Structure 1
Amino acid sequence: MTRVTHEVTNQVPPLEGHDVSADPALLDGLHRGGAGWAEPELRELGLLAGTAEVQELGRLANTHSPVLHTHDRYGHRVDEVEFHPAWHRLMTTAVRHGLHATPWRDDRPGAHVARAAKFYAWSQAEAGHGCPISMTYAAVPALRAAPGLAARFEPLLASREYDFGLRAPEGKRGLIAGMSMTEKQGGSDVRANTTRAVPNGDGYLLTGHKWFTSAPMSDVFLTLAQAPGGLSCFLVPRVLPDGTRNAVFLQRLKDKLGNRSNASAEIEYDEAVGWLVGEEGRGVRTIIEMVNSTRLDCVIGTAAGMRAGLTRAAHHAAHRTAFGAPLVDQPAMRNVLADLAVESEAATTAALWLAGSRSRLGLAVTKYWVCKRGPAHAAEALECLGGNGYVEDSGMPRLFRESPLMSIWEGSGNVAALDVLRVLGRSPDAVAGFLAELDAAHGADPRLDGVVAELKDELADTGDLEVRARRLVERMALALQGSLLVRFGHPAVADAFCASRLAGDRGAAFGTLPRGVDFGAIVERGLPKL
């Protein structure tokens, strides 16, 4: 007999069995980017991401964090990272669906937009394994600076076979790539790196300590080291072509705030073999091709996190009753949900546009702003669940812990803002292209027109640029998002964005949209499709 006090009432059913890809902004962006041919596979992946089974894989991969084994029982160095089987299942699906490097070898129109849409949908199941997937995607354009290495490794990096384990790269069915740049004395200032690279035969021997190496279980790494000709880029394999281990030693795994399913490590090179990518002394210019692609995934990953938070908040509000009515029908909650939805759709629309346009300035601007908005969005979405959102079982704490990473990875706020200033000063064509994108919406909304006119005046003022950097980049990002939404977004979303983000008719917190916004139409777009 069940005791009265044990009856469960007014609790929200699990958010399971929904199609993660049934996202209007996502699907619109997919087709607008010429990738409508990918919708069937996107839908397949979206349905899979919404299953209870895959959600459990995400939970297990984060509950059972990677474990570093530096030595075997006999004292031999092994430098192995052990993962829970859930991690490998997530990776297998991501690789099988081409979320990594396959678009670089796909000549269909919109191949990169299709990949971005799939990465967005699948990342909502579990974000941590997106790190090695992203870096494998980003490795290819950098590796092409060395045509011989690209010919050897690009087909394996683009393979749809996930082949985990330490073996000679060219004997595997598929490869995963990592990145190893930062050092303890430099961080973002990679030109301060002290790792040395000494020519040796057809390669170099690298010696140094890397402070933060993402995905240390990868097969190959792009890394920076000081060669005789200056800071240079190298490809470093974990296992050499003859099957022996390269001199890459894992010192410890980082105990991180989030991204806990993925390993990140300090490593040492002790005359590790590396192959030059590009020219000596041009390492930053070479590896920036990788950085730009991973910055794109920072935007996509943040947009995915926003959508996941919005979906969970809207699902909770639709099934939870308070003060005699469903939360979703109460004006204060509708305002919050609509505001979260506007932010989410603005991020998603920009991310899909970037995947197709590859705008250098647009990417730098959006990486700064969208990734900055991620933690605030995650916190508000969590609060929509009240105390239920503060417990691990809800999944919201993991979402919240993950949210700051995208702003830190590949250059935190100031680095991203200063990168915008560099593009403004060095690339007139990039600036002209960015302004042309804003002008494409001229006349569609007077609020947007006013912001663009003011922004052009700000861009013409070159005084105290570093002091003004964050403010300027924020305004650039908002103008870009406004232009995209006015032209391509849902009218209710575009109107709410222009009123609140451009005309300033809102408060400092989420849930302060002005009267007159079509709350119902906006919230409806954020509800999961069960």
Structure 2
Amino acid sequence: MAMSDEHLLNQPGVNQPPPLADYNAWAADTLLQYWVSQFGGAWARERLHAYGELVGGELMRAGFEANRFLPELLSHDGSGERIDLVRYHPAYHRLMAEAVDAGLVSLPWRERRSGSRLVRAALFYLHNQADAGSCCPLTMSCASVSALRCEPTLAQYWEPRITAAPYDGRNLPFYDKDSLTIGMAMTERQGGSDVRANTTRAYPSGTNARVPSFELVGHKWFCSAPMSDAFLVLAYTDNGMSCFLAPRWRPDGGKNAIEIQRLKDKLGNLSNASSEVEFHRAFAWRVGEEGRGINTILQMVALCRFDCMLAAAANLCQGAMLAIHHTGGREAFGQPLHRQPLMQNVLADLALEAEAGLAIALRTAHALDNRGDPLEDAVVRLGTAIGKYWTCKRVPQHSYECMECVGGVGFINDNPLARLYRDAPVNAIWEGSGNLQCLDILRVMQRETRLFDAFLGELYGAEGLDERFDRYLRRLVAQLRVSDQQQYLARQLIESLALAWQGATLLRHGESMIAEAFISARLCSDGQMYGTLPANIDCSALIARAQPKVAG
């Protein structure tokens, strides 16, 4: 190599945009700001701005650390005594501490003001972009309050401590801590999502703290966040499937007989420890009515499902921002990459998908804030299932397309897109797979017709705003009324419902340019891959709207 060519070696920044780092994740996100404002969360701008500063800087770095240095199981101490301790990297505890302090667990329960669910959803969306794994214990802890309220005596003690700050990650009995976290253990190897096939048994052992107590015997195939202070567990009594709260430490100060068999070696969601556990006559309190455990724990599961939908929306938006940021600072084939027509089609399509997913996620958060209204109740009940099914299904392909926009750099583990892609499938699987969501929606359609008709009212609210949407809705309603082969065709029906709901939400609450693009691309087009938008779409406007707003 000639001496004159040496300047070509190891030149930083040559046609390589800087990483999207050390930025304010709230201030950079036009889509999040817009939808939070649309649904009444503008009062929390300063709070969201402060957390966005943490997420785009310190917590983003902590997320990488927590996913690099994984949880470690210590089953026994040096003397051979069983301790069942999971040790986390300090970065994980930092993520948990900041999230708890920001209100990701407590906000809906302690700040009973208009929009509290919405603002908590926005905080969760931001935190998910720093680290999806720590979102799992945050979700379960927040959602557990609704199930624990089925046993008021337990709720009186546990709720103030679950919703307390600061975070306390120490391995101590629950009564020695002011702040507690809650996990969940439902599924077993032989049943999976069919919890009625569970075999774990609960045997009466008297009363503790004025609540019936039991001893649990059995195995759980998935127990997430095994260092939680207590777990909501399903087990059979003589009166049927029941729900229990099993603390990690017994009320008498001894270690509860919950033994961790192993930590799961998962594809993604790595910072979060997921485990198999066995109960060897483990102490537990009954929660709710005996024999109605599924109904009790579904109070928690429903909110967990909403967070799965929300996390999927966060993944969509983060992926689109990363792809647009990278292509906006790179040239290929003689011109800026993000200005080439085919790349513009892909980027605009990714941005459109992201906004449609975020729109229905925060519409559901708004409905959670307004329970008691029949329409809002229908959006909570059906919108959560429809949104979880559809948004979670869209994430893996979307993440891959974002990675392809970035190229080989996005396939490297140092790039957030690699982790985004590994984490992409989990929200579709956890808290009920896609088929379960579809069957749940069919059940409502067939058995709770008034509730389903109320949800259709949400779609009819956009009638008259766009003739193409009106035609799509009429065809959809006609299809829904045909009962033959509904289960076989369930995915097609739910996909159509999801697209109609996204279209209605964008028409009623979104920017007209976004609604127009969505209806043209999703309701009136046959394109299957991302990057197949019709020619009438203003791709530059869609890209500019989703582009992260950062200095430099």
- Under a length normalisation based on structure 1, what TM-score does the superposition of the two structures give? 0.98
Q: Residue in 1 aligned with 2:253?
A: 243
- Give the Cα–Cα distance (whole angstroms) in 1 for the partners of residues 65 and 397 of structure 2: 26
Q: Residue in 1 aligned with 2:297?
A: 287
- Indicate conservation of the 8 Å contact 1:102/1:159, yes or no: no
Q: Residue in 1 aligned with 2:8?
A: 4
Q: Residue in 1 aligned with 2:542?
A: 522
Q: Residue in 2 aligned with 1:50?
A: 56
Instruction: Extract structure 1 runs of 4+ deviating beyond 2 A.
Output: 1-8, 22-25, 31-35
Residue 506 of structure 1 deviates from its aligned partner by: 4.5
Are 2:458 and 1:454 equivalent residues in the alignment?
Answer: no
- Indicate conservation of the 8 Å contact 2:107/2:117, yes or no: no
- The correspondence for 1:513, drawn from 530, 533, 543, is 533
- Give the Cα–Cα distance (whole angstroms) in 2 for the partners of residues 4 and 164 of structure 1: 50
- Indicate conservation of the 8 Å contact 2:399/2:421, yes or no: yes
Q: Residue in 2 aligned with 1:383?
A: 404
> What does the per-residue CA deviation read over 1:225-244, in whole Å, with 9 as the maximum and x for residues that have no partner?
00111000101100122321
- Give the Cα–Cα distance (whole angstroms) in 1 for the partners of residues 414 and 440 of structure 2: 39
Residue 28 of structure 1 deviates from its aligned partner by: 2.6
- Give the Cα–Cα distance (whole angstroms) in 1 for the partners of residues 540 and 7 of structure 2: 40
Are 2:106 and 1:101 equivalent residues in the alignment?
Answer: yes
Q: Residue in 2 aligned with 1:180?
A: 185
Q: Secondary structure at the match of 1:197?
A: strand
Q: Greater CA deviation, 372-381 or 241-250?
A: 241-250
Q: Residue in 2 aligned with 1:28?
A: 34
- The correspondence for 1:373, drawn from 356, 372, 394, is 394
> What does the per-residue CA deviation read over 1:217-256, in whole Å, with 9 as the maximum and x for residues that have no partner?
1011111000111000101100122321111110000000
- Give the Cα–Cα distance (whole angstroms) in 2 for the partners of residues 432 and 39 of structure 1: 35
Q: Secondary structure at the match of 2:286?
A: strand
* Aligned AA (1:115): R
- Give the Cα–Cα distance (whole angstroms) in 1 for the partners of residues 416 and 39 of structure 2: 32
- The correspondence for 2:445, drawn from 421, 424, 430, is 424
Q: Greater CA deviation, 146-155 or 4-13?
A: 4-13
Q: Which runs of 5+ in 1 are unaligned?
A: none
- Indicate conservation of the 8 Å contact 2:31/2:546, yes or no: no
- Give the Cα–Cα distance (whole angstroms) in 1 for the partners of residues 342 and 299 of structure 2: 45
Are 2:46 and 1:40 equivalent residues in the alignment?
Answer: yes
Q: Secondary structure at the match of 1:45?
A: helix
Q: Secondary structure at the match of 2:186?
A: strand
1:335–1:195 Cα change, 3 Å = same
- Give the Cα–Cα distance (whole angstroms) in 1 for the partners of residues 83 and 218 of structure 2: 19
> What does the per-residue CA deviation read over 1:359-401, in whole Å, with 9 as the maximum and x for residues that have no partner?
2011111111111001011000010011111111222111001
For residues 309-324 of structure 1, the aligned pairs below 5 Å read 309-324=319-334
* Aligned AA (1:92): A
- Indicate conservation of the 8 Å contact 1:58/1:125, yes or no: yes
How large is the Cα RMSD of the aligned pairs?
1.2
- Give the Cα–Cα distance (whole angstroms) in 2 for the partners of residues 39 and 169 of structure 1: 35
Are 2:498 and 1:477 equivalent residues in the alignment?
Answer: yes
1:101–1:229 Cα change, 3 Å = farther
> What does the per-residue CA deviation read over 1:146-177, in whole Å, with 9 as the maximum and x for residues that have no partner?
01111110011111221012222132121111
- Indicate conservation of the 8 Å contact 1:310/1:526, yes or no: yes
* Aligned AA (1:251): Q
- Give the Cα–Cα distance (whole angstroms) in 1 for the partners of residues 309 and 129 of structure 2: 14
Q: Which runs of 5+ in 2 are unaligned?
A: 208-212, 369-379
| Count of residue pairs the alignment pairs up | 528
Are 2:18 and 1:13 equivalent residues in the alignment?
Answer: yes
Q: Secondary structure at the match of 1:306?
A: helix
Residue 443 of structure 1 deviates from its aligned partner by: 0.7
Residue 90 of structure 1 deviates from its aligned partner by: 0.6
- Indicate conservation of the 8 Å contact 1:19/1:528, yes or no: no
Residue 526 of structure 1 deviates from its aligned partner by: 1.2
Q: Residue in 1 aligned with 2:309?
A: 299
Are 2:210 and 1:189 equivalent residues in the alignment?
Answer: no
Q: Residue in 2 aligned with 1:364?
A: 385
- Give the Cα–Cα distance (whole angstroms) in 1 for the partners of residues 441 and 109 of structure 2: 26
For residues 436-447 of structure 1, the aligned pairs below 5 Å read 436-447=457-468
- Give the Cα–Cα distance (whole angstroms) in 1 for the partners of residues 298 and 450 of structure 2: 19
- Give the Cα–Cα distance (whole angstroms) in 1 for the partners of residues 477 and 106 of structure 2: 37
- Indicate conservation of the 8 Å contact 2:242/2:286, yes or no: yes
- Give the Cα–Cα distance (whole angstroms) in 1 for the partners of residues 111 and 444 of structure 2: 29
Residue 426 of structure 1 deviates from its aligned partner by: 2.3
Q: Secondary structure at the match of 1:14?
A: coil
For residues 479-498 of structure 1, the aligned pairs below 5 Å read 479-498=500-519
- Give the Cα–Cα distance (whole angstroms) in 2 for the partners of residues 409 and 356 of structure 1: 23
Residue 18 of structure 1 deviates from its aligned partner by: 2.3
For residues 66-465 of structure 1, the aligned pairs below 5 Å read 66-202=71-207, 203-358=213-368, 359-465=380-486
* Aligned AA (2:530): F
- Give the Cα–Cα distance (whole angstroms) in 1 for the partners of residues 38 and 110 of structure 2: 21
- Give the Cα–Cα distance (whole angstroms) in 1 for the partners of residues 445 and 299 of structure 2: 18
Aligned-residue identity in percent? 48
- Give the Cα–Cα distance (whole angstroms) in 2 for the partners of residues 33 and 179 of structure 1: 31
Residue 79 of structure 1 deviates from its aligned partner by: 0.3
- Give the Cα–Cα distance (whole angstroms) in 2 for the partners of residues 274 and 429 of structure 1: 38
* Aligned AA (1:5): L
- Give the Cα–Cα distance (whole angstroms) in 1 for the partners of residues 165 and 48 of structure 2: 16
Residue 6 of structure 1 deviates from its aligned partner by: 2.4
Residue 429 of structure 1 deviates from its aligned partner by: 2.8
- Indicate conservation of the 8 Å contact 1:228/1:280, yes or no: no
- Indicate conservation of the 8 Å contact 1:168/1:242, yes or no: no
Are 2:75 and 1:65 equivalent residues in the alignment?
Answer: no
- Indicate conservation of the 8 Å contact 1:178/1:221, yes or no: yes
- Give the Cα–Cα distance (whole angstroms) in 2 for the partners of residues 345 and 3 of structure 1: 43
- Give the Cα–Cα distance (whole angstroms) in 2 for the partners of residues 163 and 49 of structure 1: 20
- Indicate conservation of the 8 Å contact 2:316/2:399, yes or no: yes
- Indicate conservation of the 8 Å contact 1:180/1:210, yes or no: yes
- Under a length normalisation based on structure 2, what TM-score does the superposition of the two structures give? 0.94
* Aligned AA (2:472): V
- Give the Cα–Cα distance (whole angstroms) in 2 for the partners of residues 443 and 322 of structure 1: 44
